Amino acid sequence: MDQKRYRIRELGTAPGHFEPGPLNAITDVAGVRVGHVTCREGERTRTGATAILPHGGNLFQDKVPAGFAVLNGFGKFAGSTQVVELGEIETPVVLTNTLAVGRGIEAIIRHTLAQPGNDKVVSINAVVGETNDSRLNDIRAARPSVDEISLAIDSAASGPVEEGAAGAGTGTVAFGLKGGIGTSSRLVPVGEETYRLGVLVQSNYGGHLIVAGRDYATSAEHDKDGSIVIVLATDAPLCSRNLERLAQRCFGGLARTGAALSNGSGDYALAFSTAEAVRRTPERRKGVSAVPSLNNDAVSPLFEAAIEATEEAILNSLAMAIETTGFNAATGKASTVKAISLPHPGRR
Amino acid sequence: MDQKRYRIRELGTAPGHFEPGPLNAITDVAGVRVGHVTCREGERTRTGATAILPHGGNLFQDKVPAGFAVLNGFGKFAGSTQVVELGEIETPVVLTNTLAVGRGIEAIIRHTLAQPGNDKVVSINAVVGETNDSRLNDIRAARPSVDEISLAIDSAASGPVEEGAAGAGTGTVAFGLKGGIGTSSRLVPVGEETYRLGVLVQSNYGGHLIVAGRDYATSAEHDKDGSIVIVLATDAPLCSRNLERLAQRCFGGLARTGAALSNGSGDYALAFSTAEAVRRTPERRKGVSAVPSLNNDAVSPLFEAAIEATEEAILNSLAMAIETTGFNAATGKASTVKAISLPHPGRR
Amino acid sequence: MDQKRYRIRELGTAPGHFEPGPLNAITDVAGVRVGHVTCREGERTRTGATAILPHGGNLFQDKVPAGFAVLNGFGKFAGSTQVVELGEIETPVVLTNTLAVGRGIEAIIRHTLAQPGNDKVVSINAVVGETNDSRLNDIRAARPSVDEISLAIDSAASGPVEEGAAGAGTGTVAFGLKGGIGTSSRLVPVGEETYRLGVLVQSNYGGHLIVAGRDYATSAEHDKDGSIVIVLATDAPLCSRNLERLAQRCFGGLARTGAALSNGSGDYALAFSTAEAVRRTPERRKGVSAVPSLNNDAVSPLFEAAIEATEEAILNSLAMAIETTGFNAATGKASTVKAISLPHPGRR
Amino acid sequence: MDQKRYRIRELGTAPGHFEPGPLNAITDVAGVRVGHVTCREGERTRTGATAILPHGGNLFQDKVPAGFAVLNGFGKFAGSTQVVELGEIETPVVLTNTLAVGRGIEAIIRHTLAQPGNDKVVSINAVVGETNDSRLNDIRAARPSVDEISLAIDSAASGPVEEGAAGAGTGTVAFGLKGGIGTSSRLVPVGEETYRLGVLVQSNYGGHLIVAGRDYATSAEHDKDGSIVIVLATDAPLCSRNLERLAQRCFGGLARTGAALSNGSGDYALAFSTAEAVRRTPERRKGVSAVPSLNNDAVSPLFEAAIEATEEAILNSLAMAIETTGFNAATGKASTVKAISLPHPGRR
């Protein structure tokens, strides 16, 4: 079987109107790091974790402003109330499977406690998203472990991001096809500045797939349940309120792919700003500080870019995924999920 | 100029997978009534109001369960906090222009105070949505009046609904083209039942229009701001929590049309159930009552239908609208907004 | 009957630990203006309106950051979704009775359209709160009128604020006793600065009254329903997120008075900052601006002050109210509501 | 030192007006079980966990309707978005310390996966609340362990509840005094029924303590930060929307104790109904079911009872706590926190 895969843009589909960044990945936003741990063992283990770090420094000391949005809350996203209340993230963001959220928290806490300068830290808001990979993974078997998730955090790096059946996307399924990790980015002119915005998704949801505006014919039955976690980074200086609004827009891209937005879906989006000027350093957290912020009237181009980049990241997660055979934990049987079949570049 | 207009389904575009109801209108849901008042006078007045009545009885006495959702809250929607808190609507729903919300409330209160059986009523939660028709209407001139809005309420009827540049859609603009009122419905099998679900929209927003999955080439400049109010009715027996979730899904249909979801948009959705068994009558409002409810696990087909019906209602609002010349209140000059040009049925 | 009334602090009760400002009123926050219109006519009209202006300039052009909170949403508060979305207020805030909200919106729109510099304005988010004065007022009779509410806006002034049965408090009832308008303020040291924070309430709710921590014996039956609107001003430079949190704290003061927080209560709080540096002027609304903000770690003293000032403002609304005879609109009969009887200063 | 402790009602203080149940504890609500694990070892470990089980059956199969409320979200409460979305709880509720939330989730998942009938379960929404006991506990040392938390779940029983420095309250501090676990209940007449409502708190917050309406003089410095988690059970048949409103009322009781509601506080409330008729069994989760529900107009007595019971539960947590010496993890030094000193019964 030909498992050579192409990103959706290579296949001729380019959602939206803004230009992508050089890698067309969340790592186009300077400082952002991504790490995967992929657990693919025997016939039953098809899972993993993906860590996204807003910057390469001490995140607990130099927090980043953030916003959070829920479309459908059938999910176990950890850390949301503090992100909303304080408008910030203070740890790596970890994506993993539904029953590994507790271990994801443990891994983040260990990481944070161990960092130099954090020896007096006694409160840590770990941010962990998940989707359910039980159609291909023996999710009841407690993998990835805390140590494995720590590997994802420790290996996070800038540069290209592995997509498809990798990290937290190893065992996920979207539209009855193999989903997984996908990413995309946009260059967004606002006034005289050009900001960067990048999105990374863990796709595991259903609906009637639309690719580039066309119903995608598939033999897969209508598979509507599942979830998606969307992480957005931008270097635009935004306050937490506008980051929350930006996170909300990611669901526009989700809808454009034909998502069913069903009862059983956990649809979450998290957006943060990497701009150095808005970073919440110990000095700035004291008393009054003047922080630059892109105002309400100027944010709309970023909103549209969030929609586009999310759509493309999702399509990349499908396009780059490979057919996977694993174990269906709800039925206790082996299962195979096909990859999407799209015309290859030379054959268009 | 040929102003004969066709609905989007007549033009060969049928969003989604569920069948529409007989009228393909919100009034396919039994009991729902719609009334318009259209104010089109001289060179400056292009506005109006549209009233939606969940049933033909005394709404204050026999309230209906309802849910409310906001995608972007740049709008003046009245009555939202009580709908959310109590999970119900007790008046007609009025749509009108941005500066007429106060008059819409007045009209609803007059209507409610005057109904037989309401002579001791001292608290009324008027529900009024709006979008801004100032690109074609002298919005500062205080039209429609309270009396005019009352006409919309009083004239509400079942049967076909006038679409396009009518009622609250008389002066609205979407994607730089003439928008207005649109409606659509779906027949939704859930288990052994088939429920009906209908949507009515007042379209006035922007983005890059997608019709049936294809970018719609237009000479109109990218016009991203504006708003939309979406009203959804269903005869499925739903609790207020699941109606709120259903309202939230309408934004999926909005996104599929290419909405920019910009800062300046007021995007609201309101959903209610007309099922007699869930109606909150005076008897049922006392103490404990057992009310049937479609459970979480069964609501997903309605969620998908809400997405589809919203998309089609929006496309109908464009397809049925006619080129309109009026007055731009922000510039103080005459303005003309074209209707969308789509291949006519015979020419497909 | 001796109707000479004293504020609660004159009567020996001083809730909390921070010092009040010179007037112990919301107008201690520089720039804030308050205006009343009191409609007390014949045997049936006991109502009015109260306007609070965050500053004396053009509020639409120079908006103020704001936050909004709901404890129980059984109320008709207008303008909330836009305050939440954009984090700002652009008009006077009007308090009035439940069925006058539409007229309050009209009055605010007329005021805003007429101001110099606003001749191109086509969208206005009017903010109107209400409580239900129908136990003393013929609320069905459409008073105050739009013109009367305009008088409240036009007469708004700095300086002492009339409390008790005045303005929007003319006909309100709290704990089965005459309630109304009350105000209080605090001087709040934060680091090396001392900020001012003021609260104004329209009290109309119930419960078991606690004055200065003691159950207040009353012959009034347990009267639990009703509502309260709380408006908070501060000169501390706060972002909208922290203003929302500050608004939320007002409910702490409400609870300390023995509020029942019942189903029928509409409990709303609105907080804004008058600091010149955070004002959203036309210049600052373009692109990026650096605005000073008191950070999360420094806001707690203001939070406690909000609790204290709200408690005292409520007690002032009771202490300063006078026995009132009017018309109960739900029963159609005359009604009398007593003022609270507290030991007079000389008699303590 | 006399460490004999008395509940607040034994000391002559009885907040509110409703009668308590026979145990004056959350376990007065039939079926509710509470279990503690107390980790008190050497000089550094002063922590633990407390599990609350809504009923004694299989919670995952027979879910209970639930509502959730946040006053200040500086906390790590797990499971909140799914509780809000679906309006239900499907696991034990675990309270523990801030850095043990991940282990709490693990313990709940292990418990749920292992129960008979759950062998195909692949998605579990673990609900874990926490406060920060680092002023007396070496919170960085990863206690309680998963196995220890499992002991709390496994030992949960009906009957009297150990209060004060036990379970998740072993190391918590409130108002600069030793806090911990407290509980209380109320018998609430509604129409012809008398419902039971019980509250359990983990107190760890600050402010200026008010006991029975009187400022409580203490040598403790003003200690404002910290958190509280409040769990409420009732046998009244309530829908999730009204349970959310009920949860919200718990903060009224919190405010009455003098809580500062500071930036650093994580204040959460969770309410569930144990009524058999509203339990979400597999049968009822299919399609349409008619479930009895106490309506909006009838819930207010429960709302007041929630305020009262929360106030008393908090005062019990203080009254029953004992002076504790431990380890301050932020300073790295030994620390002692005194118990509240209240007049003993014989000496009143």
Q: Which residues of B touch A268 (CB under 8 A)?
A: none
Q: Which residues of B touch C105 (CB under 8 A)?
A: 76, 78, 101-102, 105
Residue C336 located in a structural domain: no
Chain B neighbors (3+ CB pairs < 8 Å): A, C, D
Least confident residue range of B88-92, C42-46, C344-348, D31-35: C344-348
- Closest residue of chain C to A193, computed from CA coordinates: C287
pLDDT at residue D168 tops 80: yes
**What are the phi and psi torsion angles at D18 (to 5°)?**
-85, 155
Nearest to A175 by CA among A262, A273, A80: A262
Candidates D191, D241, D289; nearest CB to B295: D289
| Average pLDDT of span A162-172 | 98
User: Tens digits of per-residue pLDDT, D72-89?
Assistant: 999 999 999 999 999 999
Nearest to C37 by CA among C45, C48, C26: C48
- pLDDT for A1 equals 46
Please count the residue pairs, one from chain A and one from chain B, whose beta carbons lie less than 8 angstroms apart.
91
- Chain A window 220-259: which residues touch C at a Cβ cutoff of 8 Å? 237, 239-241, 245
pLDDT at residue D166 tops 50: yes
Candidates A285, A289, A296; nearest CB to C292: A289
Confidence grade of residue D346 (pLDDT, cut at 50, 70, 90):
low
**Residue D227: active-site member:** yes
Residue D79 located in a structural domain: yes
Residue C9 located in a structural domain: no
Chain B touched by C265 (CB under 8 Å): no
Within a 10 A sphere around the Cβ of D217, how many other Cβ atoms?
8
Q: Which position among D223, D225, D235, D267 bears the catalytic label?
A: D267
Q: Is C297 in Cβ contact with A288 (below 8 Å)?
A: no
User: Tens digits of per-residue pLDDT, C199-247?
Assistant: 999 999 999 999 977 788 664 556 677 899 999 999 999 999 999 999 9
Q: How far apart are CA A38 and CA A34, in angstroms?
A: 13
Smallest CA–CA distance, residue A190 to chain D, in Å, is 33
**What are the phi and psi torsion angles at A109 (to 5°)?**
-65, -45
Q: Mark out the alpha helices in chain B (DSSP H runs).
A: 80-86, 101-114, 146-154, 240-256, 300-319
Q: Which position among B134, B223, B267, B317 bears the catalytic label?
A: B267
Smallest CA–CA distance, residue A300 to chain B, in Å, is 5
Smallest CA–CA distance, residue B211 to chain A, in Å, is 9
Chain C touched by D165 (CB under 8 Å): no
* CATH number of the domain enclosing A31: 3.60.70.12
Q: Length of chain D, please?
A: 348
Tokens of A111: 């990481």
- Closest residue of chain D to B82, computed from CA coordinates: D296
User: Tens digits of per-residue pLDDT, C127-180?
Assistant: 999 999 999 999 999 999 999 999 999 999 999 999 999 999 999 999 999 999
Q: Is C75 helix (H, G, I), strand (E, B) or coil?
A: coil
pLDDT at residue C79 tops 80: yes
CB D86 within 8 A of CB B245: no
- pLDDT for B216 equals 81
Chain A neighbors (3+ CB pairs < 8 Å): B, C, D
Give the pLDDT of chain B (348 residues) as one tens digit per residue: 457 899 999 999 999 999 999 999 999 999 999 999 999 999 999 999 999 999 999 999 999 999 999 999 999 999 999 999 999 999 999 999 999 999 999 999 999 999 999 999 999 999 999 999 999 999 999 999 999 999 999 999 999 999 999 999 999 999 999 999 999 999 999 999 999 999 999 999 999 999 977 788 664 556 677 899 999 999 999 999 999 999 999 999 999 999 999 999 999 999 999 999 999 999 999 899 999 999 999 999 999 999 999 999 999 999 999 999 999 999 999 999 999 998 876 544
Least confident residue range of A257-266, B222-231, D39-48: B222-231
Q: Is D287 in Cβ contact with B296 (below 8 Å)?
A: no
Q: Is the peptide bond before A144 cis (omega within 30 degrees of 0)?
A: yes
Residue A165 located in a structural domain: yes
CB C279 within 8 A of CB C61: no
Q: Is C259 in Cβ contact with D252 (below 8 Å)?
A: yes
* Total domains in the fold of chain D: 1
Question: Which residue of D248, D300, D314 is the best one to mutate when testing the C interface, meaning the one whose CB has the most C CBs within 10 A?
Answer: D300
**What are the phi and psi torsion angles at B174 (to 5°)?**
-130, 130
Within a 10 A sphere around the Cβ of B272, how many other Cβ atoms?
32
Q: Is C248 in Cβ contact with D307 (below 8 Å)?
A: no
One-letter amino acid identity for C167? G
Q: How far is CA C194 from the centre of its chain?
A: 23
- pLDDT for C1 equals 46
Confidence grade of residue D103 (pLDDT, cut at 50, 70, 90):
very high
Residue C306 located in a structural domain: yes
pLDDT at residue C273 tops 50: yes
Residue B121 located in a structural domain: yes
Q: How far apart are CA D195 and CA D261, in angstroms?
A: 30
Confidence grade of residue D1 (pLDDT, cut at 50, 70, 90):
very low
Full domain range(s) for residue B94: 26-278+292-325
Q: Is B72 in Cβ contact with C98 (below 8 Å)?
A: no
User: Tens digits of per-residue pLDDT, A186-242?
Assistant: 999 999 999 999 999 999 999 999 997 778 866 455 667 789 999 999 999 999 999
Q: Looking at the predicted complex, does its ipTM rise above 0.95?
A: yes
Q: Which residues of C touch A245 (CB under 8 A)?
A: 85
Chain A touched by B270 (CB under 8 Å): no
Sheet holding B127-131, edge to edge: B33-41, B45-53, B93-97, B127-131
Alpha-carbon Rg for chain A in angstroms: 19
- In this structure, the strands spanning D210-211 and D177-178 are unpaired
Nearest to C98 by CA among C245, C204, C221: C204
- Closest residue of chain D to A146, computed from CA coordinates: D102
Confidence grade of residue D278 (pLDDT, cut at 50, 70, 90):
very high
Contacts by residues B106-110 (CB-CB < 8 Å, ≥ 24 positions apart): B106/B146, B106/B149, B106/C102, B106/C103, B106/C106, B107/B49, B107/B146, B107/B147, B107/B149, B107/B150, B107/B152, B107/B153, B108/B153, B109/C99, B109/C102, B110/B146, B110/B150
Q: Is B297 in Cβ contact with D285 (below 8 Å)?
A: yes
- Residue D19 bridge partners (DSSP): D187
CB A87 within 8 A of CB D263: no
Q: How does DSSP assign B42-103, residue by residue?
A: TTTEEEEEEEEES-SS-TTTSBEEEEEEEEEE-S--BSHHHHHHH-EE-S-EEEEEGGGHHH
CB B215 within 8 A of CB B185: no
Residue C331 located in a structural domain: no
Question: Which residue of A285, A288, A299 is the best one to mutate when testing the C interface, meaning the one whose CB has the most C CBs within 10 A?
Answer: A288
Q: Is A237 in Cβ contact with C241 (below 8 Å)?
A: no
Smallest CA–CA distance, residue D11 to chain A, in Å, is 35
User: Tens digits of per-residue pLDDT, D132-155?
Assistant: 999 999 999 999 999 999 999 999
Tokens of B324: 């309109």
Residue B343 located in a structural domain: no
Confidence grade of residue D65 (pLDDT, cut at 50, 70, 90):
very high
Q: Is C207 in Cβ contact with D212 (below 8 Å)?
A: no
Smallest CA–CA distance, residue D172 to chain A, in Å, is 13
- pLDDT for D4 equals 86
Average pLDDT, chain A: 95
Q: Is A109 in Cβ contact with D105 (below 8 Å)?
A: no
Tokens of C177: 């006793």
Smallest CA–CA distance, residue C122 to chain A, in Å, is 16
pLDDT at residue A348 tops 60: no
Q: Is D78 in Cβ contact with A101 (below 8 Å)?
A: yes
| Average pLDDT of span D236-248 | 98
Angle between helices D240-256 and C240-256 (to 10 degrees): 70
Q: Is D25 helix (H, G, I), strand (E, B) or coil?
A: coil
pLDDT at residue D341 tops 70: yes
User: Tens digits of per-residue pLDDT, A88-104?
Assistant: 999 999 999 999 999 99
Nearest to C153 by CA among C21, C25, C56, C290: C56
Candidates C70, C85, C106; nearest CB to B81: C70
Dihedral angle over CA of A118, A119, A125, A127, nearest 10: 60
CA distance from start to end of chain B: 20
Tokens of D300: 């207010």
- Closest residue of chain A to D135, computed from CA coordinates: A122
CB A138 within 8 A of CB A291: no
CA distance from start to end of chain C: 20
- pLDDT for B104 equals 98
**Residue A158: active-site member:** no
Q: Is C298 in Cβ contact with A288 (below 8 Å)?
A: yes
Q: How far is CA C133 from the centre of its chain?
A: 15
DSSP at A339:
P
Q: Which residues of A touch D105 (CB under 8 A)?
A: 76, 78, 101-102, 105
Phi-psi region of B83 (alpha: psi -120 to 50; beta: other; left: phi over 0): alpha
